[in-house]
Amino acid sequence: MNHDEMMTLALDEARRALEHNDVPVGALCVIDDRVLASRHNEKELRKDATCHAEILAIRDALSMIGDKYLTGVTVYTTLEPCVMCAGALVTVRCERVVFGAFDPKSGAASSLYNLCCDPRLNAEVAVVAGVQQEACSRILKEFFATKR
Amino acid sequence: MNHDEMMTLALDEARRALEHNDVPVGALCVIDDRVLASRHNEKELRKDATCHAEILAIRDALSMIGDKYLTGVTVYTTLEPCVMCAGALVTVRCERVVFGAFDPKSGAASSLYNLCCDPRLNAEVAVVAGVQQEACSRILKEFFATKR
């Protein structure tokens, strides 16, 4: 599957967050075209601001493969990772992150910082930005429009 | 209790990581002199590179207080937070982080970055650096000396 098709799956996952009134962000961990984990934002559901889609997917994938690192794994996420999530991607040494919408207010893989690619850190994570950018932005805009 | 006394408790917690051969780092979440959570690094124990002391303590504290944010909470940690942990501190909007040893290789609350204090992000977390710096460094140096 290509990046577009994987991002479509991540968007499907993002929509599940709407069921519990969470900001619709979805994330997948993928290796060799196999989806290891697919999660959405559960901040409100779990009353835990750290429960971003990426963090939950990373934890599931680590548990799936039984290793402390996600070597060779690509993480797909509908929204540019924040500082915490970009740090987690580096910490688990995944190979690549592919994101959809840019987050000009708190994005840390292009917008405010690119923490995935700092040669001073232990690992670097390749970044592919803006895959299905419009669809990934639209779902967020529609969600926030209902909040006004 | 003052910062020195709290850091002594964090150091006691850090030592518990040695029982399972993890890098000895300890972290507390404290509000009004009450310790909500006390955890140590469990990366090796859980085969999960995201299981830093700060992340585990933050998750416990959120669950203790039943809120999605750690408003008013001070996090004590024996080692300067990495990018992921600094991001988590901002994400949960805790009030302050107090750390012991500086981490020149991956510290993100003074050394490489100060991600806790970026006015562009949603929240800022005050940083108190170098409390019991020598004791917090020594326990790490002793651990790594046994690995050579």
- CA dist., res. B144 & res. B138, Å (int): 10
Question: Are residues B82 and A91 in contact, defined by beta-carbon separation less than 8 angstroms?
Answer: yes
Sign of CA dihedral A6, A136, A93, B88: negative
Residue B148 has pLDDT above 80, yes or no: no
Phi–psi pair at A29, nearest 5 degrees: -115, 125
pTM for the model stands at 0.97
Using DSSP's 3-state secondary structure scheme, residue A89 falls into helix
Other CB atoms within 10 Å distance of the CB of residue A72? 13
pLDDT in tens, A77-120: 999 999 999 999 999 999 999 999 999 999 999 999 999 999 99
pLDDT score at B85: 98
Question: How big is the A-B interface in CB pairs under 8 Å?
Answer: 100
- Chain A residues with CB under 8 Å of a chain B CB are 43-44, 46-50, 52, 55, 58-59, 62-63, 66-69, 82-88, 90-93, 105-106, 108, 112-113, 115, 118, 120-122
pLDDT in tens, B107-130: 999 999 999 999 999 899 999 999
pLDDT in tens, A22-32: 999 999 999 99
- CA dist., res. A147 & res. B4, Å (int): 45
- CA dist., res. A46 & res. A62, Å (int): 20
pLDDT in tens, A81-93: 999 999 999 999 9
Of B39, B30, B42, nearest in space to B57 by CA? B39
Provide CB contacts within 8 A for B45, sequence distance 6+: B20, B22, B51
Q: Chain B interface, mutation test: which of A21, A42, A43, A50, most B Cβ atoms within 10 Å?
A: A50
- CA dist., res. A28 & res. B83, Å (int): 21
Element (H, E) at A71: none
